[in-house]
Amino acid sequence: EEVIRRSQKMEAVGQLAGGIAHDFNNQLNVIVGYLDFLKDYLQGDHVARPWVDKALQSTERCVHLTRRLLDFARCGSEDVERVNLNTLVVGLSELIQRTLTPEIELKLQLEESLWPVQINPSMAEDALLNLVLNARDAMTAGGRLIVETSNVALGSTNADIYPQLVPGDYVVLSISDTGMGMSEEIRQQIFTPFFTTKAVGKGTGLGLAMVYSFIQQCDGDIHVYSEPGHGTTFRLYFPRMEGTGSKRSFPEGEFVPLPDGSGTILVVDDEPDLLKLAIGYLQSLGYQTLEAGNAAQALEVLRNHAEIELLFTDVVMPGGVDGYQLAQKAVAIRPDIKILLTSGHAGKVLTTDSLVQFSTKLLLKPYTKLQLAKRIAAALR
């Protein structure tokens, strides 16, 4: 019952975070886009170039933060990769050491030949850091922090202890402290968003809520053992990764010359600024463009322009017809039309399951001109 209540609360917060992040993402898209244009416009040695770079860097950070919010709304699970938790722990150990006070001793107990897991590594790092910070705060008078990894095979006999977990192989990451521990009453609330016992301004109460949401996304579970006055142990269970699971398909980041475009693209977005931005990008890449502000308009344009090769549409639009449905209708009218969808909300994609045929054709907002150029070129191929 407690688990259900907790997950309902998490869902509410997740939806809230997701909703805000979604609008935010759209605005960021516009900012990144116009800064990109501005950069192209200014010559390499122009005094204002570094300012634009700075602004772009800050916007990058906002993009990162928004991604975290979206992750929180359970939409970040597409960024999973094969991870060895030992490597992750060792990679963070210096940072952890610096986070701790000198009175706290750090011990790593890492299992040799640890099984791999398939998770989002930056979220795993965030989770570990959150737990470490909590442990530090619980050991104001010093103590010992142990970070441990192990392989565990859970049989069906363990089912009553681990009701959330299906029997199978798990990698366990535990973080133990010798701090003040917590009462049963507090322990029951620690995963509730905004629950904190820390002074105003010291804690947001979101740390463990994020950890909880992350571990749910991983199909894992988290266990807490605590004794007031003695210490606390958090155990995170991650399902062992089977096979090689290399499913990263789209390496981004490295510099590639922008593909030169030709052909006509119909761009659909209900936000005028984003529409203008996408049109600007596409035209500067060499494409002809047509535009529409909603699905009904888009279908109208599509019927009157046989030259349209690709439909590039936002997923979330008012008016009762979203981007997926529009894509379906477009394909019904013009079976050979190519589709590229864009959304700030990956979560919506996965739940609209009758429309999964389009889910691989999704470009996450905010996107850069390079990302758009690559995806458009790939879709047209």
- Maximum alpha-carbon separation in the chain: 75
CA distance 278 to 266: 10
CB atoms within 10 A of CB 198: 12
Residue 291: φ, ψ to 5°: -135, 155
Across 203-287, the runs of DSSP E, i.e. the strands, are 221-227, 231-239, 264-268
Residue 141 as a binder of ligand ATP (CB under 6 A): the answer is: no
- Residue 378 binding partner per list ligand ATP, Mg ion, none, with a CB distance cut-off of 5 to 8 Å that depends on partner kind: none
Residue 116 as a binder of Mg ion (CB under 5 A): the answer is: no
Q: Which is nearer to ligand ATP, 154 or 209 (CB)?
A: 209
In this chain, which of 64, 107, 198, 248 binds ligand ATP, going by CB under 6 A? 198
Q: Tell me the two tokens of residue 165.
A: 């977990």
Q: Tell me the two tokens of residue 154.
A: 């859970």
Smallest distance from ligand ATP to CB 203, Å: 3
> Binding segment for Mg ion among 86-94, 161-169, 205-213, 308-316 (CB under 5 A)?
205-213
- CA 323 from centroid of its chain's CA atoms: 21
User: Is residue 320 left, alpha or beta, with left meaning phi > 0 and alpha meaning psi from -120 to 50?
Assistant: left
- Residue sitting closest to ligand ATP (CB): 207
User: Using an 8 Å Cβ cutoff, are 103 and 143 in contact?
Assistant: yes
- Residue 196 binding partner per list ligand ATP, Mg ion, none, with a CB distance cut-off of 5 to 8 Å that depends on partner kind: ligand ATP
Smallest distance from ligand ATP to CB 35, Å: 31
Smallest distance from Mg ion to CB 197, Å: 10
Looking at residues 145 to 184 of the shown chain, list those that interact with ligand ATP (rule: CB under 6 A): 177, 179-182
- Residue 362 binding partner per list Mg ion, ligand ATP, none, with a CB distance cut-off of 5 to 8 Å that depends on partner kind: none
Residue 143 as a binder of ligand ATP (CB under 6 A): the answer is: no
- Could you tell me whether strands 81-83 and 231-239 are parallel, antiparallel, or unpaired per DSSP bridges? unpaired
- Residue 379 binding partner per list ligand ATP, Mg ion, none, with a CB distance cut-off of 5 to 8 Å that depends on partner kind: none
CA distance 263 to 307: 8
Residue 205 as a binder of ligand ATP (CB under 6 A): the answer is: yes
In this chain, which of 33, 116, 179, 207 binds Mg ion, going by CB under 5 A? 207
Residue 204 as a binder of ligand ATP (CB under 6 A): the answer is: yes
In this chain, which of 29, 134, 226, 232 binds Mg ion, going by CB under 5 A? 134
Q: Which residue reads 């980041």 in tokens? A: 253
Distance set, CA 211 to CA 34, 52, 193 (Å): 35, 35, 11
Residue 207 as a binder of ligand ATP (CB under 6 A): the answer is: yes
Give the H or E element holding residue 18.
Answer: helix 2-41
Q: Which residue reads 């200014």 in tokens? A: 42
Residue 267: φ, ψ to 5°: -105, 130
- Residue 21 binding partner per list ligand ATP, Mg ion, none, with a CB distance cut-off of 5 to 8 Å that depends on partner kind: none
Smallest distance from ligand ATP to CB 132, Å: 9
Smallest distance from Mg ion to CB 341, Å: 37
Smallest distance from ligand ATP to CB 88, Å: 19
Binding residues for Mg ion (CB under 5 A): 134, 207
